[in-house]
Structure 1
Amino acid sequence: MHNVQKAISLPFVLAMLSAGCGNQSIQESSAVSTASVDPSFCAANASWVQKPQGAPAEVPGNGADLCQFYQFSWQWFIALMDAPNGTQRVFLDSQKYPVFLGEGQNSCADNNTESKLFVRSLKDNTVDSNDFVAPNEMNQAFNNAVIYDQQGNIVLYEARIDRGMCAVPKGSPTLPAGTTEIKSSWRTIEKADKPNYVWIQSDTNNNGTLESDELYGMVGFHLVKSTPLHPEFIWATFEHKLNAPDCQKKPISGQADHWTFTSESCAKQLPNPPATSTCHFNKVLEPASGGSSPLTGEATEICQVYAQGTRPGDNQADKNRENIITINTQLSAIFGGLNDSNALKVLQNYKIVGALWENDVSQPSSVLANQRGSIQLANTTMETNAQQGFSDPEYTGTGNLKPAANCFACHNYTGRSTNAGISHIFKYIHGK
């Protein structure tokens, strides 16, 4: 990232990828759950990796068990990260998953074929009619927050929709089964880091040239997808394993110095920083408006408040944790055994943090007892300051914990006949 202190003024043009996708589309199937006699063990299946374009249209086993939702989420993440023709990953194919361009822009236009994100400051005198200020959905979920990695480089965001969403009339109260929204977060990486990240190149200074420092690695991925049985959408989130440590655990000896968003000195203060600590865990920059943040800044000290998006007392808390841990462990081993040339090998460096859904879809999402999965779900790179709700986001220790503001705290589901209201971007995708 260029070492300049100024407001963002950049097109985020996703130009190239280590491996990507061609014209093959994802074929939805009715996959069967891989069952286990141990309810805490959530089984993975190597066939998901061998045939990644067979992701299911519905949660396996009709979602009778927590594990089946994590199987569903991982299958779709794998399918979207696949590169069928070895040139581009599926989720970066704008013919299938166009970029959300923001309010006033037609994200469904035929010419929206390149991945691009223009982020302009409201005070930038170079703004013209071809530019737009990034919508809130391009920043973090709460207060337009932005974060910086330990190198002081800003984290960038992108949102996408599935092309089928464009066929839904503007103003429709409902969205069909299969509707998909994606949000991803990216940090500047070095060339040597490419094998460890899903990566892209971006013409961030808009000079028409891909320069050596315009290389970005994916650190977070929201996958939001509806099914015939779940019109409230299944909300899954993934992260790079080296993003940040568990707030509530003391770092393993020798593992405090390798985090992307946490310094060694601060990581060593966990789980209970002293009252004199200057780390200010999960305190973010909150600019006055989206798109007005410096490209470089003071590194954000981040930790994950609720590992697996779960805390004691949540519905089936222990089982939920173990389901997530066991499926992640198995898939990491499967990915690690792939050839270096396989586009999915890099997924050994990613994990599902958790997923969230409703037990009874006839009830509104405001009924907390009806929520299932990771009740404290948050992505450390996208909801950094919502991990303990909206009123007291800074982590100060295990004795001051507060519940997270999960997906349903902002995305309100009121019923199958009005499920379009759960999307914050649907009303904007067709433009004016």
Structure 2
Amino acid sequence: MKKSIIALKSTLLTTILVISFLSCKNEKKVDDVKKEVLTTYDEKNGSILCLSKASWFPHNQTPPPAEGKGSPFDVSSTTNCIFHQWSWQKFLWVTKPVGDLPLFLNQKEIIQVTDAMEPVTQQEGASVVLTDTIQAGSKHGVLKTNPAYYSATGKAFTVHYSIHTSMIMQESAVAFKEALASGKLPANNFQTFPVGSLELKVSWVDATAISNDKLKNYYITTAAIINKDGKTYTNTKVALLGMHVVGVVENHPEFIWATFEHNDMAPNYDWKTNSASSTSEKLLFTKGSTTGLAGITFIKDDKPVLPNKAYDLFQYGVPVTSSGYMETSQKEPENFNHIREINTSVAKNLKDVWQNYFYNGSIWIDTDGLTPEEQALKIVSLGSAIGAATPDSSARGSLNCANVTMETFTQTFQSNISDINVKNLTNCFSCHNPISFSNNTSPIYLSHIFDAYIKTSEGKSKEEIDLMKDEQQKKMSEYLRTLK
């Protein structure tokens, strides 16, 4: 029996070595690969851990993750860990310093765009332009900071957002637009964005919201923030709060939807005590406790039901109840443990300001064993149910994936916390599905900025597009409320 166990461990380790060796983008000696893979195997407990890789560090040398042919995704059966590893490595790559700025702000490989995918004209003396303060959702939520986080200022500041795309995705969008406009590509189609397509959404706030002793823990840059006249800008020091990293890899045209937050934003909701609490002031949460959904529910054109009590509804986006993990389409606690493991592993290896940010999970769908044509067909056939989390569903990863700085008020569409269950969980796919704002279907409509780009080229105004988007999100929220 002992020999069998040893043989099983040996076989498992050999298999991992082979997969890791084949997935390396650059050729390495076998000994180097062994060292890297051995860090993911816990001999004592006989289990596989999900950790960072030595090749990611130091941060200023982080390579882009392998994503296409020959990558860990170019297989018929995937593991949960490779999605978490891609998410962290991609985040490290886009934030690696290139000169005086992180890569995602250098306007070369990645450019800033509007919410209709048009390139943003950069302003002198600033590295990013900020005009958008509206959160996702039909109630147009605006997030403000906790005034007590920096008592010397005693002021609530509005959170701003920027959007960035890879040149690969930008060029593909132009080609799709031209094909749709000419009729070569019908509005209902099975086209997908290519591997390397990338969207980032980033949340920022005026650095004055944060005390000087805490500012050293945030990435700080200069932003051109639009003034009330809607035409001029004021250059302002801003702090980065959170980031969505959304990208296409081999066999996953639905994108991997990953999200990151600064570690001093807000607490997690504790489902055992039915409360969220903190003994210190957080940027979005005053010290003390709250119960129920008031802190993450927005009243249209007014304010949250309970200001300065925002929290993450589920830690790492992994749904739980007071008695433990929900029974969903995703195996737990393996997924939760892998996120926690890789966060700890990365934090130990990072030496710069980015060690103060953590990975709050990602979501994708199961496409194992499917051809590219079958993958596209599956995305379209799932429709608005692409993010369903019930045991027989296709969604994988963090099934209530959200970012407290960007989806503060859409972490659930339920009115009471007791109504939340596996049937009505909310995640990125709740709004980002293959149904366009005008009800056409295609995998390319998963991107809202692309959908808005198409509508703009058709002559729709921003106001008209926003109304179409609001109507779609309203229908989805109403539908999810019916699922008890």
Task: Normalising by structure 2, report the TM-score.
Answer: 0.64
Structure 1 residues 53 and 91, CA, compared in 2 at 3 Å: closer, same or farther? same
Indicate the residue corresponding to 1:410 in structure 2: 431
How far is 1:195 from its partner?
1.8
Distance 1:359 1:209 in 2: 46
Structure 1 residues 84 and 177, CA, compared in 2 at 3 Å: closer, same or farther? same
Return the match for 1:384 from 395, 399, 408: 408
Return the match for 1:401 from 413, 420, 442: 420
Distance 1:186 1:378 in 2: 17
Distance 1:159 1:409 in 2: 20
Structure 1 residues 89 and 379, CA, compared in 2 at 3 Å: closer, same or farther? same
1:245-264 residue pairs with structure 2 within 5 A? 245-248=267-270, 256-264=279-287
3-state DSSP of counterpart to 1:333: helix
Structure 1 residues 60 and 299, CA, compared in 2 at 3 Å: closer, same or farther? same
1:185-200 residue pairs with structure 2 within 5 A? 185-190=203-208, 191-200=212-221
Distance 1:244 1:427 in 2: 32
Return the match for 1:66 from 74, 77, 80: 80
Of structures 1 and 2, the one with the larger relative CO (CA 8 A, separation 6+) is 1
How far is 1:178 from its partner?
1.1
Indicate the residue corresponding to 1:302 in structure 2: 310
1:214-241 per-residue CA deviation (whole Å, 9 max, x = no partner) reads 3221111101100121111101011111
3-state DSSP of counterpart to 2:336: helix
Distance 1:346 1:251 in 2: 33
3-state DSSP of counterpart to 2:112: coil
Structure 1 residues 54 and 157, CA, compared in 2 at 3 Å: closer, same or farther? closer
Indicate the residue corresponding to 1:46 in structure 2: 54
3-state DSSP of counterpart to 2:294: coil
Distance 1:108 1:429 in 2: 13
The structure with the greater share of residues assigned to helix is: 2
Distance 2:434 2:226 in 1: 39
Return the match for 1:78 from 92, 98, 102: 92
Is 1:161 aligned to residue 165 of structure 2?
Answer: yes
How far is 1:108 from its partner?
7.8
1:290-316 per-residue CA deviation (whole Å, 9 max, x = no partner) reads xxx89x998431111111111221221
How far is 1:176 from its partner?
1.5
How far is 1:29 from its partner?
6.7
- Cα pair 1:148 1:155 within 8 Å, conserved: yes
- Cα pair 2:128 2:223 within 8 Å, conserved: no
The one-letter code sitting in structure 2 at the alignment partner of 1:140 is A
Structure 1 residues 115 and 203, CA, compared in 2 at 3 Å: closer, same or farther? closer
- Cα pair 2:400 2:411 within 8 Å, conserved: yes
The number of residue pairs the alignment matches comes to 353
The one-letter code sitting in structure 1 at the alignment partner of 2:297 is K
1:392-431 per-residue CA deviation (whole Å, 9 max, x = no partner) reads 2x65xxx4534431111111148xx932111111144486
Is 1:148 aligned to residue 144 of structure 2?
Answer: yes
Distance 1:39 1:233 in 2: 29
Moved more, 46-55 or 108-117: 108-117
How far is 1:155 from its partner?
0.9
How far is 1:319 from its partner?
0.6
Structure 1 residues 166 and 221, CA, compared in 2 at 3 Å: closer, same or farther? same
Moved runs in structure 1, 4+ residues, more than 6 A?
108-114
- Cα pair 2:267 2:278 within 8 Å, conserved: no
How far is 1:45 from its partner?
1.6
How far is 1:144 from its partner?
2.2
The one-letter code sitting in structure 2 at the alignment partner of 1:196 is N
Structure 1 residues 100 and 355, CA, compared in 2 at 3 Å: closer, same or farther? same
1:126-161 per-residue CA deviation (whole Å, 9 max, x = no partner) reads xxxxxxxx8xxx533453211111022111111111
How far is 1:187 from its partner?
2.0
Distance 1:198 1:109 in 2: 22
Indicate the residue corresponding to 2:25 in structure 1: 30
Indicate the residue corresponding to 2:199 in structure 1: 181
Structure 2 residues without counterparts, runs of 5 or longer:
1-22, 27-32, 148-155, 186-190, 320-324, 368-374, 436-440, 458-484
Structure 1 residues 255 and 81, CA, compared in 2 at 3 Å: closer, same or farther? same
Structure 1 residues 428 and 205, CA, compared in 2 at 3 Å: closer, same or farther? closer
The one-letter code sitting in structure 1 at the alignment partner of 2:401 is L
Distance 1:373 1:202 in 2: 34
- Cα pair 1:183 1:223 within 8 Å, conserved: yes
Structure 1 residues 76 and 199, CA, compared in 2 at 3 Å: closer, same or farther? same
The one-letter code sitting in structure 1 at the alignment partner of 2:447 is S
How far is 1:68 from its partner?
0.9
- Cα pair 1:328 1:351 within 8 Å, conserved: yes
Structure 1 residues 240 and 410, CA, compared in 2 at 3 Å: closer, same or farther? same
Distance 2:122 2:267 in 1: 42
Is 1:280 aligned to residue 291 of structure 2?
Answer: no
- Cα pair 2:146 2:285 within 8 Å, conserved: yes
Task: Normalising by structure 1, report the TM-score.
Answer: 0.72
- Cα pair 1:100 1:161 within 8 Å, conserved: yes
Is 1:55 aligned to residue 65 of structure 2?
Answer: yes
- Percent identical residues: 23
